[in-house]
Amino acid sequence: MTPDTLETLQAARAARRPVALLTRLPDGAQRLHPDEALPDALRDAAEAALRDDRAGPVTAGEETWFVQPQVPSPRLIVVGAVHVAQALVPMATAVGLAVTVVDPRRAFATEERFQGDVTLVDEWPDDALLALRPDSRTAIVTLTHDPKLDDPALDVALKSEAFYIGALGSRRTHAKRVERLTEAGHGAEAIARIRAPVGLDIGAVTAPEIALSIIAQVVAARRGKPL
Amino acid sequence: MSGTEDILETARAWRAEGERVALATVVETWGSSPRPAGSRLAVTGSGRLAGSVSGGCIEGAVADVAKQVMESGAPQLLDFGITDERAWEVGLACGGKLKVFVEPLA
């Protein structure tokens, strides 16, 4: 790999721009999609690799190429810059999620409380989520326990294609939440997308344990093994 | 999915420090290989390693080839675990089979 190719790949990663690296085997000649015009077979293979986020070899005429997609990290949007969120952020980062923490309360979403690779947003959750435009590569977790903050976020989340929606709170809290969301016009099927009580049932007690249970559930959803 | 760890960023940083760097990438797997195609291992001339191309079974062998590749500048395509018997020889106890492409970062 040339240093130029490396720089292009890293610039694409930083800009969250999907790019596929194609390497001819065994001589190592490299091309980039969509940056360079490619023969149809290679272009199609690169498109498929990006769509499925799956690397693999492709044969084009006499040649074998290895196609490696580089797609933007899936995102995790955390509503509520609370204690559990502080434990959640480094775990989410470690499993490859790009994390945004949303909390309009000034004392919570501070750089002192959240260090490392995380985006902090101090807007109201519905405004923040609308601006972040959650898609099918986005997970959303509400942690505030406060309907004033959680409900507007869940309202936006349920209208999105987010691959995971989780809400902290007991079964009783969630039953009341379901009533409010139903009154707000959400159907039972939509509301059933919310994982609540949030996280896998591993008997979590402490903030890091709860964060671990949530992250495990998010990973399972992302890998198509919902638990 | 794309690698969660940014091995290329590590490779870039090492190169900026003046290290010689080679990249190894899993390009094809069969059977119970622990790391999927696209998994990367970065190796420096001084022996630093980042990432992985297996569960630790073949990283040593790949690192040796990486040093040859840094010297020669010529990439190599490696086969590991052709048969279960030979899998033991190269250290793939799982019996998996994989191809690893090793290239210089230059």
Of A25, A70, A94, the CB nearest to B77: A25
Angle at CA of residue A66, ends B32 and B47, nearest 5°: 70
Q: Specify the pTM.
A: 0.81
A130: closest CA of chain B, how far (Å) = 26
Q: Is residue B35 one of the residues assigned to a domain? A: yes
Distance from A49 to chain B by nearest Cα, in Å? 10
> How far does A216 lie from chain B, in Å, by closest CA?
15
Residue of A6, A58, A76 to mutate for B, most B C-beta atoms under 10 A: A6
Place of tokens 């490299």: A30
Within a domain: B2: no
**Taking the C-alpha atoms of A78, A80, A81 and A83 in order, what is their torsion angle to the nearest 10 degrees?**
-100
pLDDT by residue, tens only, chain A of 227 residues: 999 999 999 999 988 899 999 999 999 999 999 999 999 999 999 999 999 899 999 999 999 999 999 998 899 999 999 999 999 999 999 999 999 999 999 899 999 999 888 999 999 999 999 999 999 999 999 999 999 999 999 999 999 999 999 999 999 999 999 999 999 999 999 999 999 999 999 999 999 999 999 999 999 999 999 88
**Residue B7: closest CA among A68, A221, A25, A220:** A68
Distance CA A89, CA A211 (A): 9
Residue B89 has pLDDT above 70, yes or no: no
Confidence of residue B1 (pLDDT cuts 50, 70, 90): very low
pLDDT of B4 higher than 70: no
State how far residue B50 is from chain A, nearest Cα, in angstroms.
15
pLDDT band at B6 (very low <50, low <70, confident <90, very high): confident
pLDDT of B102 reads 98
DSSP-derived secondary structure for A95-134:
TT-EEEEE--STTTS-TTT--SSEEEE-S-HHHHHHHH--
Which pLDDT belongs to residue B55?
Answer: 81
**Residue B97 confidence (pLDDT):** 84
Does residue B52 sit within a domain?
Answer: yes
**Distance between A224 CA and the closest CA of chain B, angstroms:** 12
With both helix axes pointing from N to C terminus, report the angle between A3-14 and B7-16 in degrees, rounded to the nearest 10.
130
Q: Which residue has the higher pLDDT, B89 or B75?
A: B75
Tell me which of A9, A68, A117, A225 to substitute to probe the interface with B (most B C-beta atoms closer than 10 Å): A68
Please report, for chain A, the start and end positions of each structural domain, with discontinuous segments joined by +: 3-70, 75-222
Selected for mutation to probe chain B from A1, A22, A58, A222 (highest B CB count within 10 Å) is A1
Of the two residues B96 and A33, the one the predictor is more confident about is A33
More confident position, A154 or B55:
A154
Instruction: Choose which CATH entry (3.40.50.2300, 3.40.50.300, 3.40.50.720, 3.40.1280.10) describes domain A75-222.
Output: 3.40.50.720
Greatest mean pLDDT range, A174-188, B49-63, B86-100: A174-188
Which chain B residues are Cβ-neighbours of A27 within 8 angstroms? 75
Closest residue in B to A28 (Cα–Cα): B75
Give contacts of A 175-204 with B, CB under 8 A: none
Q: Do B105 and A6 touch (CB under 8 A)?
A: yes
Predicted pLDDT of residue B46: 96
Please determine, for residue B82, whether its predicted confidence score (pLDDT) is greater than 80.
no
Give the Cα separation of A13 and A10 in Å (integer).
Answer: 5
**Residue B77 is nearest to which of A26, A53, A56, comparing CB atoms?**
A26
The predicted pLDDT at position B32 comes to: 76
Cβ–Cβ pairs < 8 A, chains A and B: 71
Long-range (24+ apart) CB contacts under 8 A made by A198-202 are A198/A141, A198/A143, A198/A166, A198/A167, A198/A168, A198/A169, A199/A166, A200/A227
Q: Which domain holds residue B86?
A: 7-104
Query: How high does pLDDT run on average in chain B?
Result: 86
pLDDT the model gives residue B34 = 76
Compute the average pLDDT of residues B5-28: 95
pLDDT of residue B95: 65
Q: What's residue B90's pLDDT?
A: 55
* pLDDT computed for residue A137 by the predictor: 92
Domains contained in chain B, number: 1
